[in-house]
């Protein structure tokens, strides 16, 4: 049995670049053909575990606050500590932010950040009464972390083969000199970037590690390097061997062709938050990739970063403030870096999380729920406003799915994605492929982009 | 066995009729010693294949053990060995008061690399990635905290040849798991304060530790309803039912329910306080209702029985253990055969892990690499298992007698009890883009082999091989873990022989002609002599190759 087959060529779809010759850098000529003004990037910031958005954005007007406080009991923030915001088009109710959200408060006030109210995975718009009927369609495996994360990332109730970030990417790889770099996740592959034509690339937030013992630039490593690389170029008949070899080869190409450019970048003037902040470090890596967009010949990019720790079943009152402080400082840091790079209007960031959390408590924490508030940020965002519909926070109220504080989303993930896709210059026909279930909802209900 | 009986029979016949020369069937096998049945012979390469599946790495003496005991004899021997516990490690080392961070990892290296009960240790490692707790979930730092992690690992290890029902009981009441999935100090509902029981443990116990999300056939395939949809194993009512069951428990030495002390028992099983246990009826699986008014212990016992007897447990656990030990894409028949053993070990016992592990390794698919259903055989090795394989093959040691390598996850994206969440480092369902997805294959370990991690892994292995061997580092520091390549150095005047040896030891004789030739061509460039670098670079080429990364 031969493990290596030199005769077979890679079996790839006609349009696929997966596994093929990968990189095409440096591309200095592209600086002219793709002026910076045409550049756009989307950044999906995912809060893993289910962020408790109902303690992130909190009512301040008496009636709504009292309802909130009655529901949340020992998890409720006091009205006095809330940071005030003044949405441009709010209704009668007033809202405030968690006391650790100082930077977000400023971004909101400056018009660079908006709030998307009560969004979540849905199959169709539903009311509590409709959900009482077991035949009413609703997402599979509600309240399960990985299922709800996957559904948020797939953006397609019918399919689990690709993510909506990946399908978006497939339309835009033709615009880029380095198709492979169109979509990138930081520190872990993401199904959001899964696609039929491209790869769910993941790089480290700390940059690119050189292959020390098979380096290209030292004499003593050359023989080993040739041998090492020859093994990666073999046509393996076993798909497992091939998957490993392809990944190693791709990594080497990235390290040697992109890593050098990244490592030569001067530090940003904008300082990282003083408190150690992994989300900010991940966003710094995104900003570095954006900073070298012209050298790479990139005009459209899609990024995914994630932050864990939001599954606050225990000690929520002590754990959540630190989490929200990191979010707030990291988002402000990233926005400031995009200003520094001159791309604030060209970069739109939006937050995701698999679900919100129960308004009721389990003593000192919360459990898995459904609808949740999110944040959208960038110079092209119509910031300083709350979009969508704020739900009733009454236990057993009209928006409470099971009368224990699991709030039914009033906006779907598709409706949340739609304005971002429009801004990314996607055609309606493309949007219907990227988020095929948008038609089940009012497609134009939400628009938070300039 | 058949062959042996036949030759005995012939021998007897010949004796009786005084066979002379010219017989068609000369008795060319000597009779076995009375009362002893010698095992069927095992090819060395087959022994290494078994050892790759069942240990943390192959040493020459391990091959000899398998040869002398036979495949089945070796497995039985291993499963009968007493567990070399991780908690006992701490009595053999002195730890500075302020140097406790991740010491449980050092305990893990020592036991995983050197314990004789390799198979039990390997199964425990597999279980630690199914019944996951993460270091970050333990509130106590210091000696007690790290030792409680080792103690949790010992729960898995001690039950690795026991019964799955006992295992889930022990895991459920372990205080590390209690803290990690917040069953510890979970209390009954208080409607006035909008407090209801914590659902965390209830959910993950079912989703990840026992039955999974959807009903399964015996062969591990999801069942489908008339519309072709998967059938959920439980709904929110059932989650809430179990959440009520798991109320009232806290540390085993607690004086009251709402009690905390520096001296809380992080190792012993949790205990229950009746006053904090939900009194009412509890809806559990398959329409069963646990009646109200029982003790916490009664409720717990009935609830775990209810889960344990769900038909999913066999295929759900069988498939994951196969994936961790043998192959990522087992055939339906393989899963069904192992699930059948889980359901009944042949003596009417359900959940017998000893029988399950033995059946997994004895199965023809494991032994012959036979596949069906368009599956591919084998798996990407877990990153840390590539390092343990290196270290065992070349007898890695440090002068200070310990294996101090606690930051393993930085370079290998994986470390014992260091998962970032209860979903482990990688998902058993992960399928890379392209050919794998198109063919419905999974490659779980590929999830952590990304463009952000592979250079780190490769650098680390190169460093361990090329810089941290007994020739390259002549004046080592006490903590330096060095591989010993004297044996290979002494073989390097005959490179073909050295490569035969490495092919067997590291590749189970499966090295491709291309890998062999590339390695030879490369190390031949070192010219005459230079046996040390020829040896280390040959090992480096093999261990960082795509072929070594895959176990078949």
- Residues B425 and A188: their CA atoms lie apart, in Å, by 10
- Confidence class for position B24, pLDDT limits 50, 70, 90: very low
Residue B423: list chain A partners with CB under 8 A: 145-146
For residue range B82-105, list pLDDT tens digits in order. 999 999 999 999 888 888 889 999
Q: How far A136 CA lies from chain B's nearest CA (Å)?
A: 15
pLDDT at A1: 44
pLDDT at B433: 86
What is the average pLDDT across A259-275? 95
Residue B131 exposure: Cα atoms within 13 Å on the Cβ side: 28
For A395, name the nearest residue in chain B, comparing CA atoms only: B194
Q: Are the Cβ atoms of B434 and A141 closer than 8 angstroms? A: no
User: B283 or B37, which is more confident?
Assistant: B283
A198, A179 in Cβ contact below 8 A?
yes
Residue (of A302, A303, A308, A353) closest to A151 by Cα position? A353
Q: Are the Cβ atoms of B186 and A204 closer than 8 angstroms? A: no
Residue B239: list chain A partners with CB under 8 A: 143
Other residues' Cβ atoms within 10 Å of the Cβ of residue A253 = 18
- Confidence class for position B13, pLDDT limits 50, 70, 90: very low
- Residues A292 and A312: their CA atoms lie apart, in Å, by 38
pLDDT at A23: 62
Residue (of A405, A430, A406, A402) closest to A418 by Cα position? A430
Q: At what angle do helices A239-254 and B454-462 cross, to 10 degrees?
A: 90
pLDDT at A246: 94
For residue range B525-545, list pLDDT tens digits in order. 999 999 999 999 999 999 999
Q: Count H helices, E strands: chain B?
A: 24, 6
- Residues B212 and A119: their CA atoms lie apart, in Å, by 27
Residue A19: list chain B partners with CB under 8 A: 434
* B459 preceded by a cis bond (ω within 30 of 0): no
> How distant, in Å, are the alpha carbons of A98, A161, A325 from that of A85?
11, 41, 17
Residue (of A269, A251, A353) closest to A308 by Cα position? A353
For B457, name the nearest residue in chain A, comparing CA atoms only: A211
- Residues A6 and B134: their CA atoms lie apart, in Å, by 44
Q: Are the Cβ atoms of B423 and A73 closer than 8 angstroms? A: no
pLDDT at B40: 87
pLDDT at B369: 85
Residue A89 DSSP symbol? T
- Confidence class for position B17, pLDDT limits 50, 70, 90: very low
B300, B306 in Cβ contact below 8 A?
no
Which residues fall within 8 angstroms of residue A80, CB to CB, at 6 or more apart? Answer: none
What is the average pLDDT across A235-263? 94
B508, B466 in Cβ contact below 8 A?
no
Pairing, β B249-250 against β A40-47: unpaired
- Confidence class for position A24, pLDDT limits 50, 70, 90: low
Residue B181: list chain A partners with CB under 8 A: 313
Q: Is A11 on the interface with B (CB under 8 A)?
A: yes
Residue that has been written with the tokens 């790079």 in this structure: A341
Listed by number, the residues of chain A in 234-293 with a beta carbon closer than 8 Å to a beta carbon of chain B are 234, 236, 238-245, 247-248, 250-252, 254-255
Is the pLDDT reported for residue B269 higher than 80? Answer: yes
State the average pLDDT for chain A.
Answer: 91
Q: Are the Cβ atoms of B421 and A48 closer than 8 angstroms? A: yes
Q: Are the Cβ atoms of B463 and A213 closer than 8 angstroms? A: yes
Residue A362: list chain B partners with CB under 8 A: 182, 186, 195-199, 243
Q: How far A202 CA lies from chain B's nearest CA (Å)?
A: 5
pLDDT at A209: 95
Residue A145: list chain B partners with CB under 8 A: 423
Is the pLDDT reported for residue B21 higher than 90? Answer: no
pLDDT at A174: 83
Residue that has been written with the tokens 């209830």 in this structure: B202
Is the pLDDT reported for residue A326 higher than 50? Answer: yes
For residue range B136-180, list pLDDT tens digits in order. 877 777 889 999 999 999 999 999 999 999 999 999 999 999 999
Q: How far A160 CA lies from chain B's nearest CA (Å)?
A: 10
Residue B458: list chain A partners with CB under 8 A: 211, 213-214, 248
User: B354 or A12, which is more confident?
Assistant: B354
Residue that has been written with the tokens 């989703």 in this structure: B207
Q: Are the Cβ atoms of B514 and A4 closer than 8 angstroms? A: yes
A387, containing H or E segment: strand A386-387
Is the pLDDT reported for residue B38 higher than 50? Answer: yes
Residue B541: list chain A partners with CB under 8 A: 224, 227-228, 231
Which of A31-40, A178-187, A430-439, B476-485 comes out lowest in average pLDDT? A31-40
Residue that has been written with the tokens 């002609």 in this structure: B513
For residue range B347-356, list pLDDT tens digits in order. 999 999 999 9
Residue B466 DSSP symbol? I
Q: Are the Cβ atoms of A243 and B446 closer than 8 angstroms? A: yes
Residue B197: list chain A partners with CB under 8 A: 362
| Strand, helix or coil for residue B52 | helix
User: Nearest Cβ partner of A313 from B200, B446, B512?
Assistant: B200
B460, B390 in Cβ contact below 8 A?
no
pLDDT at A303: 98
For residue range B451-493, list pLDDT tens digits in order. 999 999 999 999 999 999 999 999 999 999 999 999 999 999 9
Is the pLDDT reported for residue B420 higher than 60? Answer: yes
Residue A3: list chain B partners with CB under 8 A: 510, 512, 514, 547
Other residues' Cβ atoms within 10 Å of the Cβ of residue B257 = 18
Q: How many cross-chain Cβ pairs, A to B, lie less than 8 Å apart?
A: 210
- Confidence class for position A241, pLDDT limits 50, 70, 90: very high
Q: Is the dihedral of CA A314, A354, A378, A189 positive or negative?
A: positive
DSSP class per residue in B519-547? HHHHHHTT-SS-HHHHHHHHHHHHHTSHH
User: A90 or B28, which is more confident?
Assistant: A90
- Residues B132 and B420: their CA atoms lie apart, in Å, by 10
User: Nearest Cβ partner of B195 from A4, A241, A361?
Assistant: A361
For A160, name the nearest residue in chain B, comparing CA atoms only: B437
Q: Is A197 on the interface with B (CB under 8 A)?
A: no
Other residues' Cβ atoms within 10 Å of the Cβ of residue B373 = 13
B547, B500 in Cβ contact below 8 A?
no
Is the pLDDT reported for residue B303 higher than 70? Answer: yes
For A146, name the nearest residue in chain B, comparing CA atoms only: B423
For residue range B213-244, list pLDDT tens digits in order. 999 999 999 999 999 999 999 999 999 999 99
- Residues A296 and B536: their CA atoms lie apart, in Å, by 38
A284, containing H or E segment: helix A278-291
Residue B514: list chain A partners with CB under 8 A: 3-4, 231, 234
User: B320 or A199, which is more confident?
Assistant: B320
**Rg of the Cα atoms in chain B:** 26
State the average pLDDT for chain B.
Answer: 92
ipTM: 0.92
Residue B38 DSSP symbol? P
* Cut 0.90: pTM above it: yes
What is the average pLDDT across A35-45? 85
Q: At what angle do helices B531-543 and B513-524 cross, to 10 degrees?
A: 150
Q: Are the Cβ atoms of A238 and B187 closer than 8 angstroms? A: no
pLDDT at A29: 37
Residue A187: list chain B partners with CB under 8 A: 452
Other residues' Cβ atoms within 10 Å of the Cβ of residue A20 = 11
Q: Are the Cβ atoms of B193 and A361 closer than 8 angstroms? A: yes
As a whole-number percent, the residues of chain A with pLDDT over 70 amount to 92
Listed by number, the residues of chain A in 415-434 with a beta carbon closer than 8 Å to a beta carbon of chain B are none
Is the pLDDT reported for residue A27 higher than 90? Answer: no
> How distant, in Å, are the alpha carbons of A16, A245, B310, B381 from that of A249?
17, 6, 45, 18
| Strand, helix or coil for residue B157 | helix
Residue B551 exposure: Cα atoms within 13 Å on the Cβ side: 32
For A359, name the nearest residue in chain B, comparing CA atoms only: B194
Other residues' Cβ atoms within 10 Å of the Cβ of residue A91 = 10
For B199, name the nearest residue in chain A, comparing CA atoms only: A367
């Amino acid at each position: 049995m031969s493990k290596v087959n030199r005769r077979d060529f890679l079996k790839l779809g006609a349009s696929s670049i997966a596994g093929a010759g990968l990189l095409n850098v440096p591309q200095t000529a592209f600086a002219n053909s793709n002026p910076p003004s045409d550049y756009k990037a989307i950044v999906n910031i995912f809060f893993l575990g289910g962020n408790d958005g109902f303690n992130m954005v909190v009512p301040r007007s008496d009636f709504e606050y009292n309802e909130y406080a009655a529901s949340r009991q020992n998890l409720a923030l006091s009205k006095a500590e809330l940071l005030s915001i003044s949405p441009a088009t709010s209704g009668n109710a007033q809202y405030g932010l968690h006391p650790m959200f100082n930077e977000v408060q400023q971004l909101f006030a400056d018009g660079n950040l908006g709030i998307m109210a009560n969004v979540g995975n849905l199959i169709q718009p539903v009311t509590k009464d409709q959900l009482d009927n077991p035949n009413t369609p609703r997402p599979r495996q509600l309240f399960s972390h990985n299922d709800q994360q996957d559904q948020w990332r797939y953006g397609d109730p019918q399919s689990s083969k690709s993510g909506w970030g990946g399908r978006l990417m497939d339309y835009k790889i033709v615009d880029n000199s380095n198709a492979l770099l169109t979509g990138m996740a930081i520190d872990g592959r993401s199904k959001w970037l899964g696609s039929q034509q491209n790869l769910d690339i993941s790089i480290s937030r700390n940059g690119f590690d050189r292959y020390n013992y098979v380096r290209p630039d030292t004499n003593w490593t050359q023989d080993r390097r040739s041998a090492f690389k020859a093994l990666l170029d073999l046509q393996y008949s076993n798909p497992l061997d091939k998957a490993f070899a392809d990944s190693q080869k791709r990594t080497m190409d990235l390290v040697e062709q992109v890593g050098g450019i990244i490592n030569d970048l001067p530090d940003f003037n904008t300082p990282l938050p003083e408190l150690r902040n992994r989300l900010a470090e991940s966003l710094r890596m995104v900003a570095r990739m954006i900073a070298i967009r012209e050298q790479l010949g990139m005009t459209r990019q899609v990024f995914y970063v994630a932050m864990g720790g939001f599954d606050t079943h225990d000690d929520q009152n002590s754990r959540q403030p630190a989490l929200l402080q990191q979010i707030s400082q990291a988002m402000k840091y990233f926005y400031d870096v995009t200003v520094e790079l001159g791309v604030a209007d060209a970069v739109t960031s939006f937050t995701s999380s698999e679900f919100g959390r129960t308004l009721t408590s389990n003593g000192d924490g919360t459990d898995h729920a459904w609808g949740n508030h999110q944040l959208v940020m960038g110079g092209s965002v119509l910031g300083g406003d709350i979009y969508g519909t704020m739900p009733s926070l009454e236990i057993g109220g009209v928006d409470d799915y099971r009368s224990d504080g699991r709030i039914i989303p009033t906006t779907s993930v598709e409706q949340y994605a739609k304005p971002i896709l429009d801004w990314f210059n996607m055609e309606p026909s493309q949007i219907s492929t990227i988020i095929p279930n948008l038609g089940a909802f009012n497609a134009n209900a939400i628009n938070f982009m300039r | 066995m058949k062959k042996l009986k036949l030759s005995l029979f012939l021998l007897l016949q010949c004796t009786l009729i005084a066979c002379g020369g010219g017989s068609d069937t000369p008795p060319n096998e000597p009779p076995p010693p009375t009362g002893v049945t010698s095992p069927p012979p095992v090819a060395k390469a087959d022994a290494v294949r078994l050892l790759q599946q069942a240990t943390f790495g192959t040493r020459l003496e391990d091959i000899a053990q398998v040869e002398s005991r036979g495949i089945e004899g070796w497995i039985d021997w291993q499963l009968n060995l007493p567990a070399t516990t991780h908690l006992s490690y701490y009595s053999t080392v002195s730890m500075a008061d302020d140097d406790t961070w991740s010491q449980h990892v050092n305990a893990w290296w020592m036991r995983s690399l050197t314990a004789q009960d390799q198979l039990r240790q390997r199964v425990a490692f597999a279980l630690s990635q199914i019944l996951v707790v993460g270091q970050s979930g333990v509130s106590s730092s210091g000696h007690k905290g790290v030792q409680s992690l080792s103690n949790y690992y010992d729960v898995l290890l001690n039950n690795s040849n026991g019964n799955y029902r006992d295992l889930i009981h022990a895991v459920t009441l372990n205080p590390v798991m209690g803290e990690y999935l917040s069953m510890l100090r979970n209390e009954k509902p208080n409607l006035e304060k909008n407090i209801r029981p914590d659902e965390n443990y209830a959910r993950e116990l079912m989703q990840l530790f026992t039955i999974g999300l959807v009903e399964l056939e015996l062969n591990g395939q999801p069942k489908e309803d008339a519309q072709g949809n998967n059938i959920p194993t439980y709904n929110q009512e059932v989650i809430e039912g179990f959440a009520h069951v798991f109320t009232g428990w806290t540390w085993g030495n607690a004086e009251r329910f709402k009690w905390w002390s520096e001296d809380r028992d992080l190792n012993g099983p949790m205990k229950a306080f009746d006053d904090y246990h939900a009194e009412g009826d509890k809806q559990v699986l398959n329409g069963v209702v646990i009646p109200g008014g029982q003790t916490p212990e009664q409720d717990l016992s009935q609830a775990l029985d209810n889960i344990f007897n769900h038909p999913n447990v066999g295929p759900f656990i069988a498939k994951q253990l196969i994936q961790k030990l043998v192959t990522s894409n087992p055939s339906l028949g393989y899963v069904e055969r192992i699930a059948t053993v889980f359901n009944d070990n042949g003596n009417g016992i359900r959940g017998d892990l000893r029988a399950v592990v033995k059946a997994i390794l004895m199965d023809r698919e494991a032994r012959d690499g036979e596949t069906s259903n368009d599956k591919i055989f084998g798996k990407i090795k877990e990153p840390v298992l590539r390092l343990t394989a290196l270290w065992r093959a070349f007898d890695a040691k440090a002068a200070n007698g310990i294996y101090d390598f606690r930051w393993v996850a930085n370079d290998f994206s994986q470390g014992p009890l260091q998962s970032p969440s209860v979903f482990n480092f990688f998902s058993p369902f992960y399928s890379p883009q392209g050919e794998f997805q198109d063919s419905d294959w999974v490659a779980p370990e590929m999830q952590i082999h990304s463009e952000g991690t592979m250079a780190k892994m490769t650098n680390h292995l190169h460093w361990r091989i090329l810089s941290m061997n007994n020739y390259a580092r002549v004046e080592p520091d006490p903590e330096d873990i060095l591989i010993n390549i004297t044996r290979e150095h002494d073989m390097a005047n005959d490179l073909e022989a050295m490569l035969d040896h490495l092919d067997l030891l590291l590749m189970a004789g499966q090295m491709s002609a291309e890998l062999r030739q590339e390695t030879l061509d490369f190390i031949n460039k070192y010219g005459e002599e230079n046996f040390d670098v020829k040896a280390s670079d040959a090992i480096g080429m093999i261990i960082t190759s795509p072929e070594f990364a895959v176990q078949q």
